[in-house]
Structure 1
């Protein structure tokens, strides 16, 4: 992962605007704003929890229907031209063999990769249920499972919580999905990375960093302490629990996105476009089942 400065307190107040929840930032350090306020917003396409598999539905999960749902999302992304795409984990569902799971991955990633050359994959627990991490990463042509990068004056961080409490990485059905952790080495790298940037930061994760239930990262309090301590993290976007949710903790918005796999029919799709304005405003435009949010900077 990629000048130290003191933490900044971000005050919030919420109200409804045209049916959309708006949270306003009372103050934000000028250093955390994108330098060119006349620049267009940086746009990112977001999807999560596709759980693609060539198998019959199970409960509310309609695995095969991910393909037409992704096609609809791809059309919307093509029309709106995001700078890059992020898939927030569980791109595929579990399979009983490596060969079958690799076929799931090949099928869905052929569709996803056709949408944009610039794309990023967060590891979800189902991504490495049967596959090893290196096998999944090779299948999507991504070198690492956690790293940072910059686009348009914003610093982005991808996290990997697919580690057991003893530090062993998930793979080959060697884990319980409730035992998700950010290991010490990754946490140290995250802290160093955040100290090294004075740009506004957006974090992408799969397992949730804002809850202490089965969907939460076990050491989420430690991770949040690092994020809040940096003073420059604006928001965390995450998946895993399949439902819309939003929490504000220590001045950081933790936004959980709806799963694409849930529900029968295209009307139960869910995906979003994230716009980051030069003045610090963050706008999430949700489609179908995904809610929309806006975090508006007020100087």
Structure 2
């Protein structure tokens, strides 16, 4: 395929070297070793799919082609699971139209990996309710946790108004994003209940304050820091690559897929997790690469 990203080639070359070096071990040993240690997670965010004309730097219809490109590039990775970090769809003028947007983008996304996780973004529930969006993608809850091998993963939902009312049907202002007391208590208890290294997935930013941040992000960070087992937070919402470390926790803001025209201006990633050593983000197209030990 034309314009294939160079770091994809590097990933395949590295994989070849690993397999060559492991040739002296039995196939069963290699498979068991990979299963117990390395996890591979596909990540993308702010896809904003909609069947409507571009607005500013957002090219809504092109998300389908960009998603097809992501699917092709992640096909060889043997993903353990796939995460969409919010704003899967863009706002529509009717529930019927919004359901059509969701159905259209959900099908090719589901074909990438059987195990999928959707973080709620403000645009996901601009026209739909949370129940309608979650029903459309086959996900039971908007915030929850699960274990994969030696790792613990948490999906958060900050689509609540300051008074605790959940977003839905255009009842909110996008800058009023909050994690309500009930979810904070759940998060604190969940993190205290595991000794596994933990990764958090969120839509609105947790590493700072401002329009793109969760309004009570200091309270959330306090819980993450006191838990002592949170390794990294992956988030979207502000559309550009960004990274900062706060109190020993890596906060990585991912590049939006919807921004600008053309495949070269897309963004998605393969996250490789070695629970004993490193987190490595292999960025594709305009998504930045990172590695943390």
Distance 1:141 1:182 in 2: 23
How far 1:38 sits from its partner (Å)?
Answer: 9.5
Structure 2 length normalisation: TM-score?
A: 0.88
CA shift at 1:42, angstroms?
0.6
Are 1:269 and 2:261 an aligned pair? no
Q: Name the structure 2 match of 1:195.
A: 192
- After superposition, the C-alpha distances for 1:274-298 in whole angstroms (9 at most, x for unaligned) are 01113231001101100000002xx
RMSD: 1.2
Partner of 1:21: none
Query: Matched residues in 2 for 1:38 and 1:123: separation?
Result: 29
Gaps of 5+ in 2: 1-32
The 1:175/1:232 distance shift into structure 2, 3 A limit, reads: same
Q: Contact 2:151 / 2:275 at 8 angstroms: preserved in 1? A: no
CA distance in 2 between partners of 1:261 and 1:181 (Å): 24
Please state how far the C-alpha of 1:37 moved relative to its aligned partner.
Answer: 9.7
> Where does residue 144 of structure 1 map in the other structure?
141
Structure 1 stretches of 4+ moved >3 Å: 36-40
Deviation per residue, 1:212-247 (Å, 9 max, x gap): 110000000000000000000000000000000001
Q: Distance in 1 between matches of 2:134 and 2:286?
A: 29
- The one of 148, 156, 160 equivalent to 1:159 is 156
Structure possessing the higher relative contact order (Cα contacts under 8 Å, 6 or more residues apart): 1
The CA distance in 1 between the partners of 2:247 and 2:122, in whole Å, is 27
1:241 is the counterpart of 2:269? no
C-alpha distance in 2 between matches for 1:39 and 1:141 = 28
Task: Report 1:18-167 matches (<5 A).
Answer: 39-167=36-164
Tell me the matched-pair count: 261
Aligned-residue offset at 1:194: 0.2
**Contact 1:37/1:279 (8 A) holds in 2:** no
Structure 1 residues 111 and 38, CA, compared in 2 at 3 Å: closer, same or farther?
closer
Partners of 1:37 and 1:278 within 8 A in 2: no
Report the equivalent of 1:280: 277
Aligned-partner Cα distance in 1 for 2:43–2:155: 13
Partner of 2:221, secondary structure, is helix
Q: Distance in 2 between matches of 1:43 and 1:250?
A: 26
2: CA distance between counterparts of 1:114 and 1:106?
A: 13
1:182 maps to 2:162: no
Deviations 1:38-67 (A, max 9, x none): 944111000000000000000100000000
> d(CA) in 2 for partners of 1:38 and 1:261?
33
- Quote the offset at 1:145 in angstroms: 0.2
Where 2:252 maps in the other structure, the secondary structure is strand
TM norm structure 1: 0.86
Match of 2:255 in 1: 258
Give the deviation of 1:262 after TM superposition: 0.2
